Chains A and B, each alone.
Chain A
Amino acid sequence: MKKHRILSVLMMLCSVMFLVPIFLLLVQACSPLDEAMRVAQGMATPKLWPSSFSLHQFATLFSSYQDFWERFLHDLLWSVTISLVQVFLSVINGYILAKYQNKLLSLLTVLFTLTMMIPMQMFLIPTYRMAQGVGLLNRSIILYMPLAFFPLGKI
């Protein structure tokens, strides 16, 4: 049992390590603006506790950046839509791919796998040209549509 206790403490320390940067982020959010700015520019060391606790930055965010919620909603909407499409397609395609053994299907699986290894810059200009072709330029759907059909979930 002693070994288990040591392991527990070790793993807890380990997972705390994962949280330290997030804690620092929170501290920055609650400290005065000039201090946080100096930290963000690499001029000062992040402190473990704000010198004077203030929620002023949150207030600024909600009062002077009015489109914050609009943008947030926009992001949320798109990510939920993408996830829904992604999950639906992954479930039906993954089921078919797992159920049958077939040369065509294994080729498809390999293709899906390999797609994820290609740097995304390669898709930028062709996608732009295609968007130009079908008149979807400057619309957000052209940015998000490829994400919805990314084949990570299918294999």
Chain B
Amino acid sequence: MELGDEVVRVHHQTRKYNPLVFPARDMLWLLPGTVMYGVCYVLPYLSALLSSFLSNASIPEYVGLENYRVLLGDSFYWLSLKNTLLFLLLVIGTILLLSILMAHALFSVRNLQPLVFLMLVPVFLPASSIAALWRAMMGNRSWLVQWLYPKDETWKFVSLFLLFLWKNAGVATSLILVGMRKIDASILSAGELDGASKRQLLTKIELPLLKHVMVFAIIYLLMNGIRIFRESYLLYGAYPPMKLFFVQHYINAYFARLDYSLLSSAAVVFSHVVLGIFMIVWSILRKGDCDEKA
């Protein structure tokens, strides 16, 4: 037994540690963060939820599902929902795939690992300077456009896609690299001794062990993905090309019109769709966990 394990065992014996019993004393530690979280996020959420059932007047009245009826009858809302989900799916899939590849390459050559810090640099740049840069690099007069002659709308989609990729691939790569470092090398070599092929090693050992990191990476990417609106707004203004008309543009339009009830219901529907998708992904990724613990 390692020394660390011994310390933990003694600690647990003396404190009578049982993960299933939650002493009230420890509740105090949880209190400040949770209370402030409630004030800053849960209360506003409930208030927005409430106002999605009210009419948008100076003295609001209860109108039931009227806002939702208007919203779901609006073809622009469906367009924006479709665009957003498509963009998120495409960009998150690409980044996950790319970051697994890059983390693999960085991991296999030890001296290369500091390179991941270079990839993290874009995260620290302010959005407005990135947008200006992107306009210069991918704008109409840039050599990329002169050289490729792309179609306008597709090109705008591609350049936003590249912006997101450039900004977030580094974080995903570093997360997965950290996850790979945590994998016990002896498990991999045992697998190799048992005659597992490289592909089997990757799909049967490494990826399942990387699951937790991947969930975290997906959370991070989704979180930033629904915020790509900021960059899109800086690049293309409030009314972007059709393919880039996201839910946040829709919400923004109603924000400008001060129609707060419809805005709330749009945000509620969108956030619940994203939550639903995330829950599905999460439960798929967590399905194997119970077997591992048993």
Contact = CB atoms under 8 A, between A and B. Distances in A.
A84 interface: no
A149 B36 contact: yes
A119 B248 contact: yes
A11 interface: yes
A15 interface: yes
Interface residues of B, number: 75
Given A7-B105, A19-B118, A19-B121, A100 B137 contact: no
A77 interface: no
Contact of A18 (B122, B143, B255): B122
A138 interface: no
A121 B267 contact: yes
B142 interface: yes
Given A89-B32, A108-B34, A146-B41, A42 B47 contact: no
Contact of B33 (A7, A92, A114, A118): A92
Contacts of A97: 30
A90 B37 CA distance: 12
Contacts of A105: 22
Contact of A126 (B48, B115, B226): B48
B37 A112 contact: yes
A102 to B, nearest CB: 5
A132 interface: no
B226 A149 contact: no
Interface in A14-43: 14-15, 18-19, 21-22, 24-25, 28, 39-43
| The 7 A-B residue pairs with the shortest CB-CB distance in the complex, in nearest-first order | A42-B139, A126-B44, A122-B267, A89-B33, A126-B47, A146-B40, A118-B271
Interface of B: 17, 19-22, 26, 29-30, 32-34, 36-37, 39-45, 47-48, 51, 102, 105-106, 108-109, 111-112, 115-116, 118-119, 121-122, 125, 129-130, 132-137, 139-143, 146, 166, 170, 216, 219-220, 222-223, 226-227, 247-248, 251-252, 255, 260, 263-264, 267-268, 270-271, 274-275, 278
